[in-house]
Amino acid sequence: MTVTICRCEDITEEEIVEAIEDGYTELESLKRHLRLAMGQCQGKTCIPLTERILARKLGKGPDDMDEPTARPPSRQVSFGVLAGDEDDR
């Protein structure tokens, strides 16, 4: 059975496990290698799931894992709003 972990970028558990075995053993490098957590939801769903996979594979507790750097904006904003010529509704 294939389990999709990152729905926005269509990345499966199998691909994540394979990347960890290839040496991408932290969230930041997994993100860059697989485009994981770079989709529309910016990792809201897939980051916690991936942390669990990492913890399992590396034999660490979730509290030992590094937090990924938050990249603003935390929700999607259009350029029109950012440019200040449209209302942020």
Q: Tell me if 88 sits within 8 A of 81, measured CB to CB.
A: yes
Q: Tell me if 88 sits within 8 A of 76, measured CB to CB.
A: no
Closer of 4 and 25 to ligand FES (Cβ): 4
Across-strand partners of 71? Answer: none
- How would you classify the pairing of strands 11-12 and 4-6? antiparallel
Q: What angle do CA 71, 17, 44 make, to 5 degrees?
A: 30
Residue 50 sits in the site that holds other proteins (CB under 8 A): no
Residue 86 sits in the site that holds other proteins (CB under 8 A): yes
Q: What is the 8-class DSSP label of residue 89?
A: -
Residue 44 sits in the site that holds other proteins (CB under 8 A): no
Q: Which of 12, 19, 45, 68 binds ligand FES (CB under 6 A)?
A: 45
Q: Which of 7, 18, 21, 32 binds other proteins (CB under 8 A)?
A: 32
**What are the residues binding other proteins (CB under 8 A)?**
22-23, 26, 28-29, 32-33, 35, 38, 40, 42, 69, 71-73, 76-86
